[in-house]
Structure 1
Amino acid sequence: MILNNQKGAAMIVALMVLLVVALLGTALWQYSSTDRLQVFRDEKRMQAYYIARAGADATRSKINTILGLIVWENDQPVVLRNTNNDFFENGNFEVVTTIEKIKDSETNLDIGKKVKILSTGTVQDVSETVEINIDIMSGVLPSESSSVFPSTVEEDDWLNGSNKNDTAEPNWVEVSNPKDTTGRIKSDLGSYLAVGFPENLVVEHQEGQQSFNLHAENFWFKNDTISLWIKQGNILNLHSDTIVFEGTVELDGPHDKNFGVVGLYTSTNSGYGKVYFYKDVVNQGGQQIVPKGAYYFKNGVELWGKPNVTPALGTGLIPIEDTGNSDTTWK
C-alpha cells in the first residue's frame, strides 16, 4: 500500500514538472515570436522613415521650381500633394507641402516664404512621418558685396570710374562729359568687364533734361553713403548683368513731370540681370521707392523719383530668394 502511494506521488510530481516545462516552453515561444515580430516591425519602421526622408529630401531639392510654378490667390496658403507608389519596392510616400507668404509688418510687402514639408512613408501597415520647416527670405543681401560678382572677375579686372577727368591715374576710366548725350564710359581700353565707382556718382545737366548710358558687364558703386544721385530731369541707363549699390540711390524730382530716373538694362539687352541695393532707393523727399535687398531685374526696368510714390518693388523687380541661407528645421 505504501509503495502504491509513493508511485502516485511520483506521478504527480512528474506531471507537475512536465506542466512547468510546457508553460516555460510556451512562454519562451511567445516571447521569441513577439520579439521576432517586434524586429520585423522595427525594420519596417526604419524603412518607412527613410522612404519618408527620401520624399522630403526630393521635395526640398525642387523647392525653387515648385515656388516658381505657384499661382497665388489672394495671398492664401498653397497646399500641394505628391504621392509616389512606384519608386520603392516595399513602400511608398506621400508629401504634403504647405507654402505661405511672409509679410513685412510695416509695409505689408512680401519678404519671404514659409514652407512646411510633411512627408509620410508607408511600408505595409507601418507609417513614419518626417517634417521640414523652411523659411526662405527674399532679397537677402550677402554680407560681402564683392561675393555677388562672377568668380571669373578678378581683382585686376576692375577699373575705377569717375566723373572727373583724372589723367594721372591710368586705371581710371572717364565718364563722358554730360554734354555728350551718349553718356558712354569712354577709354582707350575699349569694352569693360568690371567698373567700380569709389566716390558717389552725380548725374546732372544744367542745360536741360538729358539721358546717359553707361556700359559694363559688372558695376560696383562703392560709396556707402550716397552711391548714385540723379538730379531732376536726368536719366541714367546702366547696361550691366550685375550691379551693386553700397549706399543710397537718390532720384530727385520736385513734381510728377520732372524727376530723376535710373534704367536697368542687361548687357545683352535681353533676359534678367541682378541688382543689389544695400540701402533704399529714395526720392528727393527721402520716401522709399525700392527697399534695400537683392533683386533680379527685367531688361528695361525704370525706377522713377516721383514725389508721393507708393512704396513698391515695381514691375520687373523680383526679389532673389536664397534657399542657401534659409532656416531649415527637421522633425
Structure 2
Amino acid sequence: MLSSYLKKQKGYALVVILMMFLILAVLSATLLSLWYFDSVMAQKKICKLQAYYIARSAADVMGTHLLKNNDDIPEIIGLKSDENTFFGEDTNFTVSVSKQGSKILIQGRAAVEGVTDTANLILRENINYITKPDESLEVYYTYTREGWVKEP
C-alpha cells in the first residue's frame, strides 16, 4: 500500500537520488579528510626519521673525530657548531659537545621541514697508566664509544 502510494507521488525518485547523493558526498568527504590526515602524518614521520638520522650522522662524525684525535677533546668540550644548512633552507643541523663527569656527551640536533629530532652519543673516559723507566707513573686518557642514548 505504501509503495503504491509512493509510486503515485511525482518526484519520489528525485528525493531518493538526492538522499543517496548526500550520503555518498558525506562518505566521500570523510574518506578524503582521513586520507589527507594520514598523508600529513606520514610526511611528518618521514621528516622526523630523516632528522634523526641526520642528527645521528652529525654526532657520529664528531664522535669518530674525537676518538681519533683525543688531543682535540679539551678544546671542543662546551662548544656548539653553527647551524649548518643543506638540501635547501628546510634542513639544518647542529652538534654540541659537553662533559658530564667522566663521560662526554655529543648531541646532534637536526630539523627537516620544521620537524626536529636529536641523537646523543656517549663517549666513556678510560684512565690509563704507563710506568716510565724511572718507575714514575704517567696518566693518560683515552675514550671509547659507550653508545647511543635517548636522553642525556
Sort the TM-score into its range (normalised by shorter chain).
0.7 to 0.9
The 3-state SS of whatever aligns with 2:10 is helix
Q: 1:12 — aligned with what? A: 15
Q: Which of 140, 147, 150 is the aligned partner of 1:319?
A: 140
The structure with the largest helix share of the pair is: 2
Deviation at 1:294, TM superposition (A): 3.7
Deviation at 1:66, TM superposition (A): 6.3
Q: Within 5 A, what are the aligned runs for 1:1-331?
A: 6-64=9-67, 65=69, 68-70=72-74, 78-86=77-85, 88-90=86-88, 91-100=91-100, 102=101, 113-139=102-128, 293-294=129-130, 317-323=138-144, 326-331=145-150
Contact 1:55–1:93 (Cα < 8 Å) also in 2: yes
Contact 2:56–2:108 (Cα < 8 Å) also in 1: yes
| Larger RCO, structures 1/2 (Cα 8 Å, 6+ apart) | 2
Count residues in correspondence: 142
Q: TM-score, normalised by structure 1?
A: 0.38
- For residues 61 and 93 of structure 2, the distance between their equivalents in structure 1, rounded to whole angstroms, comes to 11
Q: TM-score, normalised by structure 2?
A: 0.75
Deviation at 1:79, TM superposition (A): 1.9
The 1:7/1:30 distance shift into structure 2, 3 A limit, reads same
Please identify the structure whose Cα radius of gyration is greater.
1
Deviation at 1:4, TM superposition (A): 8.0
The 3-state SS of whatever aligns with 2:104 is strand
Deviation at 1:21, TM superposition (A): 0.5
- 1:297-326 per-residue CA deviation (whole Å, 9 max, x = no partner) reads 7xxx9567xxxxxxxx6xxx3414142xx5
The residue identity in structure 2 corresponding to 1:321 is: T
The residue identity in structure 2 corresponding to 1:96 is: S
- For residues 12 and 46 of structure 2, the distance between their equivalents in structure 1, rounded to whole angstroms, comes to 51
CA RMSD, 1 decimal: 2.9
The 1:93/1:67 distance shift into structure 2, 3 A limit, reads farther
